[in-house]
A and B are shown apart, each in its own frame.
Chain A
Amino acid sequence: MNRIALRAGIAFLLILVLLAGLGFFVFEYVTQADQWVVFAGSPHVYNGGNIGCGVITDRDGVLLLDLSDGRNYAQAEALRRSTVHWLGDRKGSISAPALSHYAAELTGYDILNGVYTYGKAGGTAQLTISSQAQEAALKALGSYKGTLGVYNYETGEILCAVTSPNLDPDNPPDLEKDTTGQYDGVYVNRFTQSTYIPGSIFKIVTLAAALETIPDIMQQKFVCKGVYELDNDKVTCEDKHYEQDVKMAFRNSCNCAFAQIAGQLGEETLTRYVEQFGVTQRVTFDGITTAKGNFDIKGASQYSIAWSGVGQHTDLINPCSFMTFVGAIAADGKGVTPHLVAQITSDGLTSYWGQTKNQSRIMSVATAETLQELMGFNVTDKYGSKHFPGLTVCAKTGTAEVGGGKKPNAMLAGFVADEEYPLAFIVAVEDAGYGREVCIPIIAEVLQVCKAVMDS
């Protein structure tokens, strides 16, 4: 019997296995449960594909979405429409990656209680966007498809970012029956998920590269006869600009001049600077990663390089990413990453603060200052300062040919140079026409509201 009794110890082997497995699991639980609970589709955190807990407000505390009891959006339809691409819709067709990113904070999850809350559920997320600016931008975009974004290039707060077409989550259209095409791409957040052919706003990039690498660029003269012949092909201009310096060529948005500048820079330099400026790179913030742009002139002909230098060819930019680039120019060559979530509080305690995230320097201060001056000159000399009372705006318009029998996309990128209003912006309007005619009135309206918001 003694021997058998000793052999009975074999059970301890199994006990050991069980305890080791249990210990391993408890370790995983302690270290990973906060991720499990907010994993996409987690039944206590999501409903209909989007996060289902917490309260979301704008920068001033205006309620955008209350998830503590069902899914209640803002009262005003304009506000619901203008924010739906950040908050997500009821079915989860429009996703809300920024909210999902802070699901743990919004659920009020902690390891002791899980997602259990006594009565009221979850945390409150305050976004950086302003409900007034959102509504204004929605109105300004009108029936156009496109996107508009404004952010503070000193702090990184996104003040306004609107996508059109959009939908009212409380009264969604029947998309299956829609044949007008007015809701094409309605589920996409064009500000972060889309890419656009930049057109002439890309001349900012070419110019910046030239300022960094060609010492006498400001002294050079460029001749424009309306056409610039290259490789038995022609780069065309809207107009004949004759002889002009780079400042005037930038003001005139002269394709012929910029084709020459691109030629001077060459494949290698231009590619390197596009890379360095981060123009085509993804921007990541608050769980959002923007779409990747495109700039590919590897082994391309002089002709293609020329068109690339003026934002055509295969160039693609993401609006949010390009806005960040323009913001860096405004901030003397060293920008900040945009962000959407200002803070999250739960039971009176702040569990998350949105912080300003500095980027590395992308260009010299001198280059940035020259660009500021030249972009400012565009407005004062061409677009008209009268559109922007009380604001010193620097900008560059673009008219991006998309082909396919559609009108060009109207583009605009720029910033406000005033110290009190450190705002950079981007406007992309599809199937619209000239950037100057379409985008300037739109951004003029929105900037005034942004100014008012910042004043208050």
Chain B
Amino acid sequence: MDFVSGLFYAEPAYIRVFTACLRYLAPVLVAVLLFRCMKPLLTFRKEPEIWAWLCLADGRKMSVTHWENVIGRSKRSDIVVNFPTVSRSHAVLTRYDDGSWTIADADSKDGVFVNKKRVRIRALQPGDVISIGGVDMELQPISRRQEKHLAQLRTKASTIFSSFANLFLLTVFQILCAVGFLLGGGGENAVDILIGFGGIMACQWALLLFYVCIRRTSFEVETIAFFLSTMGMAVLATVDPGEALKQLIALALGVVLFLVVGWSLRDLERAKKFRYVAAIAGIGFLLITLVFGREYYGAKNWLVIGSLSIQPSELSKVCFVYVGASAMDRIMTKRNLFSFIAYSVLICGCLALMNDFGTALIFFCAFLVIAYMRSGSVGTLALACTALGFAGVVALKIAPHALRRFATWRHIWEAPLEGGYQQTRSLMCMAAGGLLGLGAGRGWMKNVFAADSDVAVATVCEEWGLILVVLIILSVIALAVFSVRSASVGRSSFYTIGACTASCIMLVQVILNALGTVDVLPLTGVTFPFLSNGGSSMLCSWGLLAFIKAADTRQNASFAVRLTKKGGAEDE
């Protein structure tokens, strides 16, 4: 109080007025911005894309709305052929990037026949007669003209105007932030603060202009990511302004990674090939860390190259999503998950050796999500969870520093100067901030260890208020809901699994980070996506975002989804 009130008395009236106004303006501005971004994500109309028609002998015509379609008797099938001789899941009809189709037998009882010949998998030619359980049918892919016509009938994701408006709102918020910090005692770090906020503005506008060039209009997901990054910069501006440039570079690299991963996902065949590269890279990052890594704060998860220190386990997350995602024909024909389970065990083993239990937990949750989406078997998951329980008990016995965190859990006020220090200070400062915060740069959290990463939420709450923290968390939830909603109009299970796993990883990180800071859960030292300071974490967040973007099949929404070919010419 001494320090803060000292500031007030020394401050000219206009600064006090600005701070007083910004306290109210910031949550309102952010609420409006996030509402505008979240609304289309949460409420978009699920309009299926039509790729072909399946014509039955009786003249019925069924639309094929995905790239991967299960044909079977079951009501859950994509194309329901309710005939007693048809298996529940009989065959998988798959479309490829070049417009060709295949049919594959999904371990059915009676088999799949094309032109009266039993096949396991076969590319379809025009005029081929498919026979499933005695039901004859013919696939009629839509023509380019029809495709274009149908695309025009679909609602565009969002207008470029609203994307501009959202980004403009965000820019206003960023300018107010920067001014707030400059007036709130950040004068000596003016250059860092200006570079930090100015750099984010430059990145976001450059990305939007790039979208305009490639005729993509939807920018909600990106705007949320840039907003979260802005709050991360606001945390840095108060805790450690000197890191602003470094974090900005990480953000720019993150955007590049986002574009690269998105590009690799754009072509499903390319993406499937990328999986192997990703698998090797994912485990490679961890092995390198294990051999050359350095131990900080009890976890050997840092790789130091010159003055650069990175956490390769963060990048492994992106690779893991890649490895876990799988196309439908594979899911239906090779039902076992053994190779994937083996891979996951390998990864978690490496992390356990590094003592990095927070990250191991994230990988495990990602594994559960992938395993469930691929197998649909709750039993397998229960088994996996039990195994984790045992592993966890053993881990806690071996790693005393992890146990200590559990010891103070829900008892932080009994050891406010020892084990509960970070969290008690966090709660005190969060309470001091109230719902509206104390104002930019006026917090005390900077004196707490990891105020810009592990307990960054408290730093935001202290200076910007609890309302903003709740909004931040809701915006991550919105991304996850969007992934789930996109699933039902997804083209390939590869994208759907990828997007859902990516958003689940973000959710788990938010759960562990935010709820750990406030002692609802034990503090695990996991980063908050986009918000926490740390280059690797920032890169990982953008990489994950690419998967969410790749599942966005709204018309003209995503750069990671090919536009309908225009008059036969490829749109790249």
A residues sitting closer than 8 Å to B (CB atoms) are: 1-12, 14-15, 17-19, 21-22, 24-26, 28-29, 33-34, 36-37, 39-45, 47, 52-53, 67-71, 107, 109-119, 121-122
Contact = CB atoms under 8 A, between A and B. Distances in A.
Centre residue among B8, B68, B481 by max chain A CB count within 10 A? B8
B416 interface: yes
B373 A2 contact: no
Contacts of B477: 15, 18-19
Given A8-B484, A36-B428, A70-B6, A114 B503 contact: no
A122 B8 CA distance: 13
Interface residues of B, number: 73
B376 interface: yes
Given A7-B376, A21-B521, A14 B20 contact: no
Contacts of A116: 23, 433-434, 436-439
A39 B416 contact: yes
B376 A114 contact: no
A394 B24 CA distance: 62
Contacts, number: 198
Given A1-B496, A18-B507, A44-B432, A8 B483 contact: yes
| Chain B binding surface, main DSSP class | helix
Contact of B9 (A2, A39, A69, A109): A69
B470 interface: yes
B518 A114 contact: no
Interface of B: 1-6, 8-9, 16, 20, 23, 66, 68-70, 76-78, 328, 331, 365, 369, 372-373, 376, 413, 416-417, 424-425, 427-439, 444, 447, 465-466, 470, 473, 477, 480-481, 483-484, 487-488, 490, 492-493, 496-497, 500, 503-504, 507-508, 510-511, 514-515, 518, 520-521
Nearest to B494: A4
B480 A39 contact: no
Contacts of A24: 520
Contacts of A44: 1, 4, 428-429, 432, 438, 444
Given A24-B520, A36-B427, A70 B16 contact: no
A26 B473 CA distance: 13
A114 B416 CA distance: 21
B428 A43 contact: yes
Given A1-B496, A8-B484, A117-B8, 8 more contacts: A1-B493, A4-B373, A5-B490, A26-B466, A36-B427, A44-B428, A68-B5, A116-B439
Given A1-B328, A2-B76, A15 B416 contact: no
Contacts of A34: 431
Nearest to B426: A36
A246 to B, nearest CB: 53
A37 B430 CA distance: 8
A123 to B, nearest CB: 12
B518 A25 contact: yes
Contacts of B369: 10-11
A114 B424 contact: no
A3 B473 CA distance: 29
Given A10-B372, A39-B416, A69-B9, A45 B1 contact: yes
A17 B511 contact: yes
A195 to B, nearest CB: 28
A11 B1 contact: no
